[in-house]
Chain A
Amino acid sequence: MTQTLTDAEPLSYEEALEHFDPVLGFEVHVELNTKTKMFSSAPNAFGDEPNTNVNEVCLGLPGTLPVVNGKAVEYAVMLGLALNCQIAERCRFARKQYFYPDTPKNWQTSQYDEPIAFDGYLDIELDDGEVFRVEIERAHMEEDAGKLTHAGTSGRIQGADYSLVDYNRSGIPLVEIVTKPIVGAGARAPELARAYVSAVRDIVKGLGISDAKMERGNVRCDANVSMMPKGTTTFGTRSETKNVNSLRAVEHAVSYEMRRHAGILASGGTIVQETRHWQEGSRTTSSGRPKSDADDYRYFPEPDLVPIVTTAAWVEELRAQLPEPPAERRRRLLAAWGFSEQEFRDVVAAGLLDEIEETVASGVAPSVARKWWMGEISRLANARDLEPAALGVQPAMIAELNALIEQGRINDKIARQVLEHVLAGEGDPEEIVSARGLEVVSDDDGALTAAVEKAMAENPDVVEKIAGGKLKAIGALIGPVMKETRGQADAGAVRKIVLEKLGMEG
């Protein structure tokens, strides 16, 4: 018997795609942000002392029984609708049975042959605007497992000195979204992978059904990858890279697996059907446990729960309440605001769509709103190590600041100072301007004219240049005037006075 080759040097990305076509599949787990757990009244909360958000039900103590969280069902239906799925009129939970210490009952209550949502799709927009349709096989409800921490060098249960288990996460409601095999993405497969997970994250965030923080595991992705020789249509053996928990990692993991599969297949080897672990440091995957389609979880309908029935009226009521899908909203706003594609992408990446939309709604021009949020506010947030949206600046404040500028009562520079005072809790912009006497020096009492005259007297060479037609030289007078007026002069007014003095037209 010959040794089967199951490992080889990965090909380069280009080489891999020269010979093979990738087939992808994703299982994305979304933790719902309900107040309580899926089947118990214990709190659903992140970051608390281990094993404090538990009760006898989510610990699976003898005699306990589950009760379905109605809010979680509602959220699952909303998600199903947002994924363009059919909603089951009647569905059941099943027990997925396996012995592992992160599941206190040694079964996970999940859905098997009767998911609550099925047969959907999501149109994924790639960076260049190309739209790729990903078919959704199903979205089903289940409960999360507890969190295991393995002490020792291996970091895995095998070979650990000991393992700690935190059941705070045990029983938190999840929706698992499973795609159909995704064929035809070719070289754009990693980009599509990233965009798909990003789209799911945006949807659940927009629906308000999940905190959607990948770094906290609110959205977790298992990425299935296989490669088939170009020109063929039979899928190859797949690997499943588990818990890839950032958008960048999803992209890299898919890319790496494509290259690894291609390397093995090109050497005449065989892909082992297995789970893989993503290694952030080396940007590679490592072998997990073998997984076959015949893994026997001895599923059977959960006898402690009655079937879930969704009425058409209720589903339609939820559908009517759905927010605008994120992709549609982005298209609408891009057209309305007139930003360049790059400007718009930067706004999305900065997470400032909501803020700019609200600022615009308060009467500020889109380009001005963008300048505020992407400029000064982002700078202040950065200095405080915060997300811009988390800085505490309200869109209404920006509208107020902007109105003060448009009225000529303050200039841009003063407005930036006012913003800092706002953040320091001194009140709203109007109050700060009057309390601190920041209003632009007007020329009602001749003070500005006096300051301009003084600057012209002190800079005859500049005056000469201006008189000679070099209007740009006016800038050199602005500094001294600002100095004289402690920054409260309006540059436009200064210019106007200079030109008047020289008998020139602006």
Chain B
Amino acid sequence: MTTHTHHLTRLTAAEMAQKLRAGEITSVQLTQAHLDRIAAVDGGEHGIHAFLHVSAEEALRTAAEVDDLRAAGGAVAEALHPLAGVPIAVKDLIVTEGQPTTAGSKMLEGWMSPYDATVVTKLREAKLPILGKTNLDEFAMGSSTEHSAYGVTRNPWDTTRIPGGSGGGSAAAVAAFEAPLALGTDTGGSIRQPGAVTGTVGTKPTYGSVSRYGAIAMASSLDQIGPVARTTEDAALLHELIAGHDPKDSTSLPGEVPAFGEAVRTADVAGMRIGVIKQLQGEGYQQGVLDRFHEALDALRAAGAEIVEVDCPSFDYALGAYYLIMPSEASSNLAKFDGVRYGTRVLPEDGPLTIERVMGSTRAAGFGDEVKRRIILGTYALSAGYYDAYYGSAQKVRTLIQQDFDAAFEKADVLISPTAPTVAFPLGENDDDPLAMYLNDVATIPANLAGVPGISVPGGLSEGLPVGIQFLAPIREDARVYRAGGALEKLLSQDAEPLWAQAPELAETEPAAAAEPAEAAAHPAGK
């Protein structure tokens, strides 16, 4: 079908941007190529199902605008953002005016936000065509995207396996060449762990460095929006675009956005002290994952890095603290979904229509099991008489974890660990075992509890499935994770194609309804 444009999707965002600037391709061509790819691989019984909503018309309209501005030349074209015209997908937890936002929940089925998230405003201002909204575990609660109310997303490397979660849709879209860039949110690893198991790059920025305004809150003190991409450079460029102070977010940090792209381009680990976290290796980690991890350490050492071991004893309690703080905040943040003002409303089948009963039946029908599990946990933990023992103690552990990080960063410039303990597991494997599911985030959670930045970069394959390597840096030192991650990326692709380019082709099916080809014809190539 679209073989003449197929190659356009198998580039990095930086390469796409370069070709757009050089006039080799148009944004309409590029955007249409991705819409075609979505139409070809996303639907059907075994399709990737990364998208919950595709906004072809809007994306092509933005693309045509960029092409017009580029064609105008001069200062107008010069003023375009470097990523202008490069399409992007947005996790469906982030609100978008004019496109539905469901948070992966029946509760918000059909809801349209009357306002844009700050990061979406930034995408629109920079004129990145927004392809659509990506699938996620309901309200971002999960590590496999199996808890979406709208069906599972499949891992492009093996469509019988999970793409990670909660941002499985964004990661799978990037891995399957449906989008070169995507936005995710990371509360306990929801950007990094899907990045690891799909062979993509995902960054959780320093807490407060990217505005949360418009990201539907799960756990306010842990949530952070970040970039999902194929390379560290692409992630860095998107990160630069979305970062910065936002007066609408009180937890937003002031200050200039560092040049992350430059950090990647000059990436070098010679003389860098890289700390191996004693607590984040060994037991619970698959041998294949550990093998790739040790190879990464060897490569970094060979490139001049000083590998040291750091002890973070409180990390052993991170998962426990996280599963008190996160559900506590989530139980509160999700209270507003009651059927009174917007979204789904379910009336009780019989009995009087009192406000309590309508709220009750709406929440009973509108939320899935994992969401209910966390609301119940959180409600219990915040209850009078339990608060100190649960929420209070968890906050103390959080302080201890921050202190562990502080001590570790005395000895090391960045820390390193496997991103996830396992490669992608088969769909349905952990259905009946929420605790096993929770263990997936054991390595990513400490960064959220401490607010530090982290990145997951591809570290090779184990049993044909991607393994992720995580770098962590001190608060506001996000540039360091790009420097270290970028260096590892270079080292591992010296003798081989980068991992993202090795992703399976996937069988393209003729879509039932092509994504508005007429729209593309209206903006012919070369315009």
Question: Is the CB–CB distance between A106 and B338 below 8 Å?
Answer: yes
Q: Is the CB of B335 within 8 A of A107?
A: yes
> Cβ of B6 < 8 Å from any Cβ of A?
no
Known: A67-B247, A294-B384. A300 touches B338 (CB 8 A): no
B359: nearest chain-A partner, CB-CB: A99
Does residue B221 face the partner (Cβ distance < 8 Å to A)?
yes
B108 touches A306 (CB 8 A): no
Give the distance in Å from the alpha carbon of A306 to the alpha carbon of B253 in the complex. Answer: 11
Supposing A61-B115, A62-B95, A97-B332 touch, asked if A298 and B383 sit within 8 A by C-beta, the answer is yes
Known contacts A303-B221, A303-B329, A304-B217; A97 and B335 CB within 8 A of each other:
yes
Q: How far is the CA of A66 from the CA of B214 in the complex (A)?
A: 12
Q: A71 to chain B: closest CB distance in Å? A: 15
Residues on the B chain within 8 Å of A99, using CB? 335, 338, 356, 359
The interface bits of chain B over 96-125 (1 if a CB of A lies within 8 angstroms of the residue's CB, else 0) are: 000001010000100101110100000000
Taking a contact as CB atoms closer than 8 A, the residue among B114, B213, B338, B355 that contacts A157 in the complex is: B355
Contact (A63, B387) CB under 8 Å given A105-B336, A303-B221:
no
Scan residues 66-111 of chain A and give those whose CB is less than 8 A from a CB of chain B: 66-68, 95, 97, 99-101, 104-107
Closest A residue to B212 using CB positions? A65
CA distance A101 to B359 in the complex (A): 10
Task: Give chain A nearest CB distance to B140 CB in angstroms.
Answer: 12
A60 at interface by CB-CB < 8 Å: yes
Q: B103: which of A62, A95, A296, A298 is its contact (CB, 8 Å)?
A: A62
Partner of B384, one of A60, A62, A298, A303: A298
Is B335 a contact of A296 with CB atoms below 8 Å?
no
With A106-B338, A298-B384, A300-B382 known as contacts, the answer to whether A61 contacts B220 (CB < 8 A) is: no
Least CB separation from B117: chain A residue: A63
Residue of A nearest to B215 (CB): A63
Tell me the smallest distance from the CB of A117 to a CB of chain B, in Å. 21
Q: Using a CB-CB cutoff of 8 Å, which residues 440-468 of chain A contact chain B?
A: none
Name the residue of chain B whose CB is nearest to the CB of A157: B355
Residue from B103, B113, B247 whose CB has the most chain A CB atoms within 10 Å: B113
CB distance from A490 to the nearest CB of B (A): 68
- Residues of chain B lying within 8 A (CB to CB) of residue A100: 355
* A373-419 residues at the B interface, CB under 8 angstroms: none
CA distance A239 to B279 in the complex (A): 56
Q: B113: which A residues are within 8 A, CB to CB?
A: 61-63
Kindly state whether residue B46 has any CB partner on chain A within 8 Å: no
Which residue of chain A has its CB nearest to the CB of B208? A306
* Interface flags, B221-249, vs A, CB<8A=1, else 0: 10000000000000000000000000111
Count chain A residues whose beta carbon lies closer than 8 angstroms to a beta carbon of B: 32
Whether the Cβ atoms of B216 and A63 lie closer than 8 Å is yes
Which residues of B, 324-349, contact A by the 8 Å Cβ criterion?
Answer: 328-329, 331-332, 335-338, 340-342
- Residues on the A chain within 8 Å of B111, using CB: 62
Give bound CA distance, A272 to B400, whole Å.
Answer: 46
Q: Which of A59, A62, A95, A299 has the most CB of B within 10 A?
A: A62
Q: How far does the Cβ of A168 sit from chain B's closest Cβ, in whole Å? A: 15
Name the A residues within 8 Å of B387 (CB-CB): 298-300
Which B residues are CB-close (under 8 A) to A298? 331-332, 379, 382-384, 387
Which residues of A sit under 8 angstroms from B472, Cβ to Cβ?
none
The B interface, classified by DSSP as helix, strand, loop or mixed, is loop
| CB pair B341 A95 closer than 8 Å | no
A237 CB → nearest B CB, Å: 20
Asked if A305 CB lies within 8 Å of chain B CBs, one says yes
Interface size on B, residues (CB 8 A): 45
Q: Which of A65, A95, A101 contacts B213 (CB 8 A)?
A: A65
In the complex, are the beta carbons of A105 and B335 less than 8 A apart? yes
B residues in contact with A64, CB < 8 Å: 213-214
Whether B216 contacts A62 by the Cβ 8 Å rule is yes
The answer, among B94, B332, B340, for a CB contact under 8 Å with A300, is B332
Chain B residues with CB below 8 A from A97, complex form? 332, 335, 382
- From 296 to 339 in chain B, residues with beta carbon under 8 angstroms from any chain A beta carbon are 328-329, 331-332, 335-338
Q: Does B361 contact A (CB under 8 A)?
A: no
- Quick check: is A9 within 8 A (CB to CB) of the other chain? no
Please give, as numbers and ranges, the residues of chain A lying within 8 Å of B114 by CB-CB distance. 56, 61
B251 contacts A by Cβ under 8 Å? yes
Given contacts A99-B359, A298-B383, contact A66 B250 (CB under 8 A): yes
Q: Which A residues are in CB contact (< 8 Å) with B337?
A: 62
- Residue B150 at the chain A interface, CB threshold 8 Å: no
- Contacts A65-B212, A298-B384, A300-B328; A60 near B247 (Cβ below 8 A): no
**B248 touching A65, Cβ below 8 Å:** yes
Q: Which residues of A contact B108 (CB under 8 A)?
A: 62
A104 touches B341 (CB 8 A): yes
For residue A391, give the distance in angstroms from its CB to the closest CB of chain B: 44
Q: Is the C-beta of B482 less than 8 angstroms from some C-beta in chain A?
A: no
Is the pair B248, A67 in contact by a Cβ cutoff of 8 Å?
A: yes
CB distance from B254 to the nearest CB of A (A): 12
The docked-state distance in angstroms from the alpha carbon of A324 to that of B338 is 48
Q: Is B391 an interface residue (CB 8 A)?
A: yes
Within the assembled complex, what's the spacing in Å between the Cα atoms of A305 and B219? 13
Q: How far is the CA of A89 from the CA of B249 in the complex (A)?
A: 23
Is the Cβ of B335 less than 8 Å from the Cβ of A106?
yes
Q: How far is the CB of A73 from chain B (nearest CB, A)?
A: 13
A62 CB to nearest B CB, Å: 4
Q: Choose among A56, A157, A298 the residue with the greatest number of B CB atoms under 10 Å from its CB.
A: A298
**Complex interface residues of chain A between 20 and 74 (CB less than 8 A to chain B):** 56, 59-68
Chain A residues within an 8 Å CB radius of B356: 99
Which among A59, A63, A64, A158 has the highest number of chain B CB atoms within 10 Å? A63
- In the complex, are the beta carbons of A101 and B250 less than 8 A apart? no
Is the pair B341, A304 in contact by a Cβ cutoff of 8 Å? no
Other A-B contacts than A62-B216, A99-B335, A299-B382, 10 sampled, CB-CB below 8 A, are A63-B216, A65-B213, A65-B248, A65-B251, A97-B332, A106-B338, A107-B332, A296-B383, A299-B387, A304-B251
* 30 A-B pairs (CB sep. < 8 Å): A59-B341, A61-B342, A62-B101, A62-B111, A62-B113, A62-B336, A62-B337, A63-B113, A63-B117, A63-B213, A63-B215, A64-B213, A65-B249, A68-B250, A97-B332, A99-B338, A100-B355, A101-B355, A104-B341, A105-B335, A105-B336, A106-B335, A107-B332, A163-B355, A299-B382, A300-B332, A304-B251, A305-B250, A306-B250, A306-B251
Which A residues are within 8 Å of any B CB, using their own CB? Answer: 56, 59-68, 95, 97, 99-101, 104-107, 157-158, 163, 294, 296, 298-300, 303-306
